[in-house]
Amino acid sequence: MLVSSGLFTLYGQNRMIVGRSFGYGAILALIAGITPAAAATATALLNDYNLIVFGDVTSQSDVDGKAYIGGNLTGGSFDNHNVAAGPGINALTVGNNVSGSVTVNGPGVAIGGNLATSNYNGNGGGNAYIGGSWTGSANFNLNGSGNVYLGGTKTGTGNVNGGSLFQNQSSSSFLANVPTTATTSSIQTTLTNYSSFLGGLTANSTFSLNSGTATFNASPNAQGLAIFDITNAQSFFTSVNQITFNLNGATEIIVDVTGAGSGTLTIAANFLGGQAQTLAQDTLWNFTDATSLKIDNQFGGDILANSAAVTLNQNEEGTLVAESLVQDGEVHYDGANNNLPLAPTPVPATLPLFGGGLGLLGYLTRRRKQRSAI
């Protein structure tokens, strides 16, 4: 976290989000754990996970990085690139049951319900915690780096290779590793608050429409942040078939999108010049009021669509957050920004922020006194 004259800058593992200016009052708000605290925790979530879905996921495709799914999971391949994340972040976390054909290539799995897969391959090692029973077909290749722990019993088929199977677990240490509805609710609240926080930022940049091409012209502030507002989402994305950005020195882009209405918001525009990939790492699209979102072309940038049932028909370049997901396109990890320090990862982050906030407040107080003495 960096504080400079009138600037609130939140750091995450992969990108930087720069908020509004603040003084001592906002530092006290930070200590109290309200909006800025939620924003800091949200940044960590967006960096640690490549996919966050609060409800159910049905997948016939891949996710490069780590995934958190609050509901049921049917099918899919996860953590294909074994993307680095904060401590304690599993390759796959599922709040309820897992079924279909599922592959996990990174370490660590946590499932709140039953493992009822027709074919499960866990190839990344690490511990697997399953709150219910193993009723389907599964193979865990742990390579000596973990074990499988069940709250119930194994009645299905398959093997645990390079580790051990423990059944009928109920210890507090076991339960602490099993996701619950409270875990999902906390993450959802944090990211919803963060979406509101971003939506409240004042736009400093504009776009123009010409023959179906939307040109986003950035006018970044001194910290490199460009903020755009799309207030008529349905008519905008219906009329746009190409998107391009003129960065003009911007290093971070936020696009706040409203006006989705009650119908499905379909996005089929093509990002020109390969910008779907080249700008994905430092771009976030904030769909604050969308309830149904369909992606029909390669999309560039993080998608924050907390209330939306998302249908992903083409590749998403960046982190995807949704209420539910039907996935046919891949979700790609957008790469690390190695110039940024890691943000705190705990959820909630109230206690660490309390101590850090007090230290920060004391530091600024000392700086003011030193300046007064000069």
| HEC per residue, the chain | CEEECCEEEEECCCCEEECCCCCHHHHHHHHHCCHHHHHHHHHHHHHHCCEEECCCEEECCEECCCEEECCCEEEEEECCCCCCCCCCCCCEEECCCEEEEEEECCCCEEECCCEEEEEEEECCCCCEEECCCECCEEEEECCCCCCEEECCCECCEEEEECCCEECCCCCHHHHCCCCCHHHHHHHHHHHHHHHHHHHCCCCCCEEEEECCEEEEECCCCCCCEEEEEECCHHHHHHHCCEEEEECCCCCEEEEEECCCCCCCEEECCEEHHHHHHHCHHHEEEEECCCCEEEECCCEECEEEEEEEEEEECCCEECCEEEEEEEECCCEECCCCCCCCCCCCCCCCCHHHHHHHHHHHHHHHHHHHHHHHHC
- For the chain, the C-alpha Rg in angstroms (whole number) is 22
Write down the pLDDT at residue 294: 98
pLDDT, one tens digit per residue, over 315-339 is 999 999 999 999 999 999 986 433 2
Task: Output the CA torsion sign for 357, 362, 366, 371.
Answer: positive
Mean pLDDT by 10 residues, the chain (374 residues): 30 34 38 34 86 98 97 97 86 98 97 98 95 98 94 98 97 96 94 89 96 97 91 97 97 94 96 95 94 98 96 96 98 59 36 39 44 44
Write down the pLDDT at residue 43: 82
Write down the pLDDT at residue 86: 80
Write down the pLDDT at residue 335: 64
**Angstrom distance (rounded) from CA 342 to CA 336:** 11
Write down the pLDDT at residue 82: 86
**Angstrom distance (rounded) from CA 142 to CA 139:** 9
Write down the pLDDT at residue 334: 80
Q: What is the dihedral of CA 29, 33, 35, 37, to 10 degrees?
A: 110
